Amino acid sequence: MPEVDLLQAVNMALTKAMETDDRVIVLGEDVGVDGGVFRATNGLIERFGAERVRDTPLSEAGITGLSVGLAAQDFRPVLEIQFMGFIYPAIDQIINHASRLRNRTRGRLTCPMVLRAPFGGGIHAPEHHSESTEAMFAHIPGLRVVIPSSPKRAYGLLLAAIENPDPVVFLEPKRIYHVQKENVEDDGKALPLDRCFVLREGSDITLITWGAMIVETLAGADQLAEDGVSAEVIDVATLTPLDTDTIFSSVEKTGRCVIVHEAARTGGFGGEIAARLAEDGLLSLLAPVKRVTGYDTVIPMPRLEHHYMPSLDRILTAAREVLEYS
């Protein structure tokens, strides 16, 4: 059982999917000869050939439109957008075609495609390389938005996304590509989509997050434990459709909740979770829900980036305010 990081787990999942199903095709800018901008597709063209690992022109709209057509004809395209900040030219194809194909054809056609994109800040990249606009895609009916936060979850969730009959936006938190290694069995077993993962059981407060912010949130739970506070940590993993059962069950137990994400505060997906708790979980809450988020500005590159990102101190401050509320 190999010990791999998140990026290597993505490569493992792509390899396994292509071995298992010859309908799986990988395409995107530099995914073939160069192995992708972060080398997530390294070695695939040598193993599966240029017919199934296709280097494309520099056109995100073209890559996505081609993938929609392939998916409609029973292929399983996995396209790579090099950075989430480059995804906007593809939005017409994603929203107007991929997400609507099942409804438009009354189920005669589906769109089993996966759009992979590295996202988020924390690597001191230039402009257009550090966006966290996952909430924009979570707003679109017909799309699944999946965000892994560990090597095991990257492997299992990507396999599940490729097997899914409808389009999946699969966002990879590049800040933690190489942060953690895990023993990942290359057994081809998918993890369930549409489910949160409880990473740590607790009874005093619920900390909800996804993506790279798992690192700081788990560190916050460790720090709170030193103060005698039992924090439950939930990795949302699939933003849409949202697993509210797991979230409500946790908040019913703890009565207190902090939501952490690095995306800008206004319109961030944390607001959706907070709204659902207000609508359907209000009587379980012993304190107002707090959000720890990025700011309503473009990430200031490069030297001020760390001021933008939610920090351990900000998470602890929010948690203690919620715990002290009466």
| Catalytic residue annotation | 129
58: left (phi over 0), alpha (psi -120 to 50) or beta: beta
Strands of the sheet containing 24-28, edge to edge, are 53-55, 24-28, 76-80, 114-119, 168-173, 144-146, 238-240
Structure token pair of residue 69: 């057509």
Element (H, E) at 295: none
Sequence-ordered strand ranges (E) for 141-230: 144-146, 168-173, 182-183, 197-200, 205-209
Q: Where are the alpha helices (DSSP H) in the chain?
A: 6-20, 44-48, 60-72, 91-96, 101-104, 134-138, 151-163, 214-226, 244-254, 269-280, 305-308, 312-324
Question: For residue 82, which of 128, 45, 15, 33 has the smallest C-alpha distance?
Answer: 128
Which residues lie closer than 8 Å to 236 by C-beta, 6 or more apart?
Answer: 147, 196, 208, 209, 210, 242, 243, 273
Asked if residue 212 lies in contact with residue 175, where contact means CB atoms within 8 angstroms, the answer is: yes
Exposed/middle/buried for residue 283 (C-beta within 10 Å: 0-12, 13-18, 19+): exposed
Packing angle between helix 312-324 and helix 214-226, nearest 10 degrees?
50
